[in-house]
Chains A and B, each alone.
Chain A
Amino acid sequence: MIHSLFLINASGDIFLEKHWKSVVSRSVCDYFFEAQERASEAENVPPVIPTPHHYLLSVYRHKIFFVAVIQSEVPPLFVIEFLHRVVDTFQDYFGSTNVGDQLPTGQLSVVPWRRTGVKYTNNEAYFDVIEEIDAIIDKSGSTITAEIQGVIDACVKLTGMPDLTLSFMNPRLLDDVSFHPCVRFKRWESERILSFIPPDGNFRLLSYHVSAQNLVAIPVYVKHNISFRDNSSLGRFEITVGPKQTMGKTVEGVMVTSQMPKGVLNMTLTPSQGTHIFDPVTKLLSWDVGKINPQKLPSLKGSVSLQAGTSKPDENPTINLQFKIQQLAISGLKVNRLDMYGEKYKPFKGIKYMTKAGKFQVRT
């Protein structure tokens, strides 16, 4: 289906091409460059571009465009999903330590996702339950929308063909799930137990969405006072971040970013903790806050200098937040137990919980 593939870097060079059928001239990428120019930003390049004889389907990852050339009807997601898998594989291959392990070897196995003859001296299985909160908080601090998305990422290094089951204390929390192909669907349907022969190494076992009925605890709040005055080249900027519903855990890795309006020339700010940067070109303010100490809330205060002579910006910037809370799954999801069958040895098992901000946005 994919006729050819071009890899284009940030400066617009085709640095790699691969053709599976006949050679398609590079010039086909001109249509892509045109679209890129029109889009101004990389993320706005349409993923599907029709040209007179071909269709160009592209994904943008790691500042590289992967442009696939297609000649006939094919589900676009088929190609896009595939390209993303290719990139994932590249990433695994070039980016991580255990190179050889990652290449597929299981074509013939009954369990195509696991190679045979795996051997470890230390048998261990680690599962990370990672939840992300997506939220939009409005000006007044009330939640417009909030939901929890979670994943269970696993790192399994077990000898032989282990068969694992993982059960939850409260599986009903999971509203919508998608599985790694190794998970036995029927078992989940009937018993809400994850039963699977794991792939070797790192993989994503499960992605889930927590049912919408449950109210989502919002672990942080942002107090903000951002004002631009008419006929003045100075504006005020003040934000404070504080913990809200954190279940007694520390909020760390807090990072605040905000895209300032075009009219902002510079910002003179003093943080009570952490470091901040304002990029006058992209107008992006980022403040690396670090840990939140409930006794002494972090704040960032100062003034904004605006372009003189122009009227004040209409819009207030939105504040994007990142944070991490260790040892907590904010939905309350808990793994009940993990059992192994099919092999005799006793593996070391570990489960870690973490909550992170997903797309967490505060409108001002």
Chain B
Amino acid sequence: MAASPAYGEEKGGSSSLGEPEYGHDPASGGIFSSDYKRHDDLKEMLDSNKDSLKLEAMKRIVAMIARGKNASDLFPAVVKNVACKNIEDPNQLIRASALRVLSSIRVPIIVPIMMLAIKEAASDMSPYVRKTAAHAIPKLYSLDSDQKDQLIEVIEKLLADKTTLVAGSVVMAFEEVCPERIDLIHKNYRKLCNLLIDVEEWGQVVIINMLTRYARTQFLSPNQNESLLEESAEKAFYGSEEEDTKDAKAEAASLAKRKPYVMDPDHRLLLRNTKPLLQSRNAAVVMAVAQLYFHLAPKAEVGVIAKALVRLLRSHSEVQYVVLQNVATMSIKRRGMFEPYLKSFYIRSTDPTQIKILKLEVLTNLANETNISTILREFQTYIRSMDKDFVAATIQAIGRCATNIGKVRDTCLNGLVQLLSNRDELVVAESVVVIKKLLQMQPAQHSEIIKHMAKLTDNIQVPMARASILWLIGEYCEHVPKIAPDVLRKMAKSFTNEEDIVKLQVINLAAKLYLTNSKQSKLLTQYVLNLAKYDQNYDIRDRARFIRQLIVPTEKSGALNKYAKKLFLAQKPAPILESSFKDRDHFQLGSLSHLLNAKAVGYQELPDWPDEAPDPSVRNVEVPEWTKCTSREKRKEKVEKPFYSDSEGESGPTESADSEPESASEESGSSSSSGSSSSGSEEEEEEEEEEEGSGEQSEDKEEEEEKRTKRKEKEGSRKATSSEEASASESSSSGSDSGSEAEAKQRKVPPSSKAGPKEISLLDLDDFTPPPPQPVPSSSIVSTSLVTDLEGLMLTDTSLAPALLSPAFGAVRTYELLHRMAGEGLSVEYCFSRRPFPGDPHMVAVQIQISNNTDAEVKSLRVSEPKPLSGMRIQEFPEIERLAPGDTASVVMGIDFCDSTQAANFQLCTHTRHFYVSIQPPVGELMAPIFMSENEFKKEQGKLMGMSEITEKLTLPEKCRSDHTIVQQVTSAANVGRVPCGADNEYRFAAKTVTSGSLVLITLERREGTAAQLTVNSEKMVIGTMLVKDIVQALVQ
């Protein structure tokens, strides 16, 4: 190595205290080239792979910098060899900070290194490092925009990332670098919607804003049809929505051709998943959701945002300022939305003026015929405020109310006229200006007011007000023929001392009077014009000259003179007083541009809805059927093939890098169930499941220790069944906390104990299949445990459904429908699965288990000729085409028992035989549990006293004294849900009857010793009585 002696020497130099070499000024220290060479040495030291050499080089460089030398040409070498090293550190935090440091260096020369580092980090194992990579993208882009194409590739890759950590940051990068590449979003749209709630708050804002734009390009307007229907009604009420009407008419033509509007499910998904974020503590998130709803939701749904926006008015005044600006814009378009919150916009004397004025704007926008009197009363107190700017704004607001609502025009005008005698000149001046505008609408009726105002010229000094009065008198001089010339006389006297705007109006007044009443005002006019001719202001001189030529007939003034009167005294349209926030909603709400009412740098236009929706299938995501762990080479290959590249994104590098074990196994789970080809929707379901899974974790903790092990077991097979899970219909979404205890207990029964002669076919499983009551042969252990697990999963997974809860049952009791003997080898049993019957909430789901004990195949098993009693309805199960000997099938049928315990009779047919059978429900099965708080329970119980209350005393047997057994016995006797109870010795349960939804409330109170009292409150007395009997029997048996 040629360089080695050189640096050895230098090392000596630097270690000596003097540092002679670097102490010199380059100019005096020798020729420039030696300096250059020296840096070359340092570069080589940096390039070497010994840490000690690098350290030494760094020391020297730092020393150079400290002495004020320019070391910048060493910069790339330092970056390359020192900063970059940390990029490969085993600690993710260090990798991330190295990248952050690197990307913060704003020197063009390191662009290639930065690019490389970003690419590397984008496929890092750690989501945190990937997030940092996303952060670095905009930085690099601002440094060198030529890297755009490469950066877009990285963005595309990161967009496919499935972690919440990365989502916000990469969308931010997307917005900065390539907001126009909306096509990159398609495949990630559903995922982003589903991840949204778990993304950190700042990321949520960015994603929501981006998705708003996206939705505007991909979906149809949800209001296109409505606007036509609403048009007439809305118009009748307000008549101010001309804009809408026009739109509607324009659309009406094309509407005929159009299909009826059906919202794209993806559009709905976005609305549904953003709504909870209105509850965010972050004002920016709430605003983002609000603008999304304003721009994307059907009219009827936009209302939900009002409450949240009103809440933000409690925040800091800067937040209020921004929110009120947006509310002002919204309240013009959708007044009804904020009307219920009118009082929240009332003004306090302590509000800052800018807030007061914005609130006033909103109040004015909200004014209509019904609330105007309240609003005006409120305005009256505002006028007496000490804050004069605010008073002026209030007067303007009154003027606007007067123009918009004809009913109160006279009231307002009178009020304003009274203000003319106000002591404060500013108030008077503002009133004059507003009155002038109002009078223009109907001058004839108001000559009195004009006279009154004419008198004010003696006192009022505010130029704008004086000018307004003069204009009014001139314009309507025929209404005040006597006063007008006198006013002109006074003004002529004071002309030289007036402000410019007043002078101009004096000239105007003179001209108009000259034309209408030249006898009295000819000389005055001449005088005024002469004064004006020598005024200092050229505008005034100009005006005077122009007017003289126009009105005073001379030989030279020709044609125009004849028209002077028409020119000056033409009918002028009344000014329209409208909000400065009108039509501001063409800017995306919540944006800087909207606030400033001007396009800010980098503003992305909110696109108009398309006329035809683009192909929705672009958002479908292929579920990869091949294993997820593809090698890099393989991936590169795939890029060429568009078909695979889709799914590549989904389970590509980021996925495998994912540190969460869950998603990985889930993925493999769905690949094992390759039969299902329903793509896209499945993906979505999985995502949701993941979300619920996290909620579930918390619940699990509520269960006792022992269940934790069970859970693991459950999770294991849960993965395996994720595809069945995905196809589960919504009706499975019921479950409860209270159920978890019992259900966990049930799960404890080891599946292997269920050994028996019959086998269940997996294909027959539907989602409502409970564990088969019959024992199964050991050969099918896997499948049965799968069934149990599947069921357990449903209970817990969906425990967040409201109101109707899943049963808190003990062991499911089975009843015989057809004995083996009577059925000639066919045995049928049934049980009440206690699940809501899909499709009809008023039906009780009955699980039927049919076993073929014959040695021949049974064909076309079905229900026929149901003979229900009046009102009773039966929903047969789908026909079972064939049942092999020794096989068992399980089906569900729904029966509406009309809240009675009368038996449902029907025939069970096979291809050869008919069997008459009947199902009689125990009273406890005619209900479904509901959730109630203790207070609600008490309240409802209070309503169900007297006849509706049935009480029975009982003695609890020894074995039935623990809390656990009592709850279990009651819940097994009846399908009820436990209600929380403060007292130790009381147990409460609640349910609703399935058909009529009547409440059934059960209270069991333990007295001293073994005594107890059972109370049932229900308006269905028969049910109540029978239920008491059943429960007592269950407890004392």
Residues of chain A lying within 8 A (CB to CB) of residue B698: 163, 184, 187, 195, 197, 341
- CB atoms of A55 and B319 under 8 A apart: no
Asked whether A176 and B352 contact (CB < 8 A) given A108-B128, A169-B935, A314-B384, the answer is no
Instruction: Return the contact of A73 from the options B354, B385, B592, B933 (Cβ within 8 A).
Output: B592
Residues of chain A lying within 8 A (CB to CB) of residue B381: 138, 363
Query: Does A28 make an interface contact (CB < 8 A)?
Result: no
- CB atoms of A145 and B281 under 8 A apart: no
- CB atoms of B128 and A176 under 8 A apart: no
Query: Does A34 make an interface contact (CB < 8 A)?
Result: no
Query: Does A189 make an interface contact (CB < 8 A)?
Result: yes
Instruction: Return the contact of A70 from the options B286, B288, B592 (Cβ within 8 A).
Output: B592
A124 nearest CB across to chain B (Å)? 20
- CB atoms of A315 and B283 under 8 A apart: no
- CB atoms of B800 and A186 under 8 A apart: yes
- CB atoms of B596 and A75 under 8 A apart: no
**Size bin of chain B's contact surface:** 35 or more
Chain A residue with Cβ nearest B308? A176
- CB atoms of B349 and A204 under 8 A apart: no
How many A residues touch B, CB cutoff 8 Å? 82
Query: Does B750 make an interface contact (CB < 8 A)?
Result: no
In Å, the complex CA distance between A144 and B314 comes to 18
Query: Does A316 make an interface contact (CB < 8 A)?
Result: yes
Those of B270-288 within 8 Å (CB) of chain A: 276, 279-284, 286-288
Chain B residue with Cβ nearest A310? B423
- CB atoms of B600 and A144 under 8 A apart: no
- CB atoms of A76 and B592 under 8 A apart: yes
- CB atoms of B602 and A145 under 8 A apart: no
B1022 nearest CB across to chain A (Å)? 32
**Interface of chain B: mostly helix, strand, loop or mixed:** helix
In Å, the complex CA distance between A168 and B933 comes to 9
Residues of chain A lying within 8 A (CB to CB) of residue B205: 75, 78
B282 nearest CB across to chain A (Å)? 6
Asked whether A73 and B601 contact (CB < 8 A) given A112-B200, A363-B381, the answer is yes
In Å, the complex CA distance between A327 and B93 comes to 47
Of A46-54, A239-247, A270-278, A286-294, the one with at least 4 CB within 8 A of chain B: A46-54
Instruction: Return the contact of A108 from the options B92, B319, B344, B934 (Cβ within 8 A).
Output: B92
Map CB proximity to B onto A141-155 as digits: 1 under 8 Å, 0 otherwise.
000110101000000
Instruction: Return the contact of B311 from the options A59, A145, A163, A209 (Cβ within 8 A).
Output: A209
A14 nearest CB across to chain B (Å)? 19
- CB atoms of A50 and B590 under 8 A apart: no
A296 nearest CB across to chain B (Å)? 30
Chain B residue with Cβ nearest A188? B279
Chain A residue with Cβ nearest B131? A107
- CB atoms of A189 and B800 under 8 A apart: yes
Query: Does B865 make an interface contact (CB < 8 A)?
Result: no
Asked whether A75 and B590 contact (CB < 8 A) given A259-B386, A315-B386, the answer is yes
Residues of chain B lying within 8 A (CB to CB) of residue A189: 276, 800, 802
Those of A322-364 within 8 Å (CB) of chain B: 336, 339, 341-342, 359, 361, 363
- CB atoms of A73 and B311 under 8 A apart: no
- CB atoms of B934 and A169 under 8 A apart: yes
In Å, the complex CA distance between A336 and B936 comes to 13
Query: Does A227 make an interface contact (CB < 8 A)?
Result: no
In Å, the complex CA distance between A128 and B350 comes to 27
Residues of chain B lying within 8 A (CB to CB) of residue A134: 314
Asked whether A80 and B319 contact (CB < 8 A) given A75-B590, A186-B800, A315-B384, the answer is yes
Residues of chain A lying within 8 A (CB to CB) of residue B598: 50
In Å, the complex CA distance between A77 and B290 comes to 12
Query: Does A235 make an interface contact (CB < 8 A)?
Result: no
Query: Does B321 make an interface contact (CB < 8 A)?
Result: yes
In Å, the complex CA distance between A107 and B384 comes to 54
Query: Does A41 make an interface contact (CB < 8 A)?
Result: yes
In Å, the complex CA distance between A318 and B356 comes to 15
Residues of chain A lying within 8 A (CB to CB) of residue B980: 167, 336
- CB atoms of A84 and B316 under 8 A apart: yes
Query: Does B702 make an interface contact (CB < 8 A)?
Result: yes
- CB atoms of B349 and A361 under 8 A apart: yes
Map CB proximity to A onto B120-151 as digits: 1 under 8 Å, 0 otherwise.
00000010100000000000001000000000
Chain B residue with Cβ nearest A80? B318
A306 nearest CB across to chain B (Å)? 14
Chain A residue with Cβ nearest B389? A44
A68 nearest CB across to chain B (Å)? 11
Query: Does B943 make an interface contact (CB < 8 A)?
Result: no
In Å, the complex CA distance between A342 and B697 comes to 10
Those of B681-699 within 8 Å (CB) of chain A: 692, 695, 698
Query: Does A21 make an interface contact (CB < 8 A)?
Result: yes
Map CB proximity to A onto B701-727 as digits: 1 under 8 Å, 0 otherwise.
110000000000000000000000000
- CB atoms of A178 and B931 under 8 A apart: no
- CB atoms of B595 and A48 under 8 A apart: yes
Query: Does B534 make an interface contact (CB < 8 A)?
Result: no
Instruction: Return the contact of B322 from the options A60, A76, A259, A361 (Cβ within 8 A).
Output: A76
Residues of chain B lying within 8 A (CB to CB) of residue A47: 317-318, 321-322
Query: Does B591 make an interface contact (CB < 8 A)?
Result: yes
- CB atoms of B593 and A73 under 8 A apart: yes
In Å, the complex CA distance between A271 and B423 comes to 33
Those of B551-609 within 8 Å (CB) of chain A: 590-593, 595-596, 598, 600-604
Instruction: Return the contact of B702 from the options A186, A314, A341 (Cβ within 8 A).
Output: A341
In Å, the complex CA distance between A262 and B386 comes to 8
In Å, the complex CA distance between A163 and B128 comes to 25
Chain B residue with Cβ nearest A45? B354
B672 nearest CB across to chain A (Å)? 27
Asked whether A179 and B279 contact (CB < 8 A) given A59-B316, A169-B934, A171-B933, the answer is yes
Asked whether A136 and B800 contact (CB < 8 A) given A74-B592, A171-B933, A314-B424, the answer is no
Query: Does B343 make an interface contact (CB < 8 A)?
Result: yes
Query: Does B737 make an interface contact (CB < 8 A)?
Result: yes
Asked whether A75 and B288 contact (CB < 8 A) given A82-B202, A107-B128, the answer is yes
Chain A residue with Cβ nearest B587? A73
Residues of chain B lying within 8 A (CB to CB) of residue A168: 933
In Å, the complex CA distance between A22 and B105 comes to 11
Query: Does B353 make an interface contact (CB < 8 A)?
Result: yes
Asked whether A177 and B386 contact (CB < 8 A) given A21-B142, A41-B352, the answer is no
Residues of chain A lying within 8 A (CB to CB) of residue B311: 176, 178, 207, 209
In Å, the complex CA distance between A336 and B935 comes to 10
In Å, the complex CA distance between A315 and B321 comes to 26
Those of A166-209 within 8 Å (CB) of chain B: 167-171, 175-181, 184-187, 189-192, 195, 197, 204, 207, 209
B443 nearest CB across to chain A (Å)? 30
B205 nearest CB across to chain A (Å)? 5
> Contact residues of B with A, CB < 8 Å?
92-93, 106, 126, 128, 142, 197, 200-202, 205, 209, 276, 279-284, 286-288, 307-308, 311, 314, 316-319, 321-323, 340, 343-344, 346, 348-350, 352-354, 378, 381, 384-386, 422-424, 590-593, 595-596, 598, 600-604, 692, 695, 698, 701-702, 737, 799-802, 931, 933-935, 980, 982
Top 7 A-B pairs ranked by shortest CB distance? A72-B602, A341-B701, A43-B352, A145-B343, A47-B318, A73-B603, A77-B284
List 9 A-B residue pairs with CB atoms under 8 Å apart, sorted by A's residue number.
A48-B592, A55-B592, A75-B592, A77-B283, A112-B200, A176-B308, A315-B386, A320-B349, A341-B698
Besides the known contacts A262-B386, A363-B381, 15 further A-B residue pairs in the complex with CB atoms under 8 A apart: A46-B321, A48-B592, A71-B602, A73-B604, A76-B590, A80-B284, A144-B378, A178-B279, A178-B280, A179-B281, A185-B197, A190-B800, A209-B311, A342-B701, A359-B348
> Contact residues of A with B, CB < 8 Å?
21-22, 39, 41, 43-44, 46-48, 50, 55, 58-61, 70-78, 80-82, 84, 107-108, 112, 134, 136, 138, 144-145, 147, 149, 163, 165, 167-171, 175-181, 184-187, 189-192, 195, 197, 204, 207, 209, 212, 259, 261-262, 311, 314-316, 318, 320, 336, 339, 341-342, 359, 361, 363
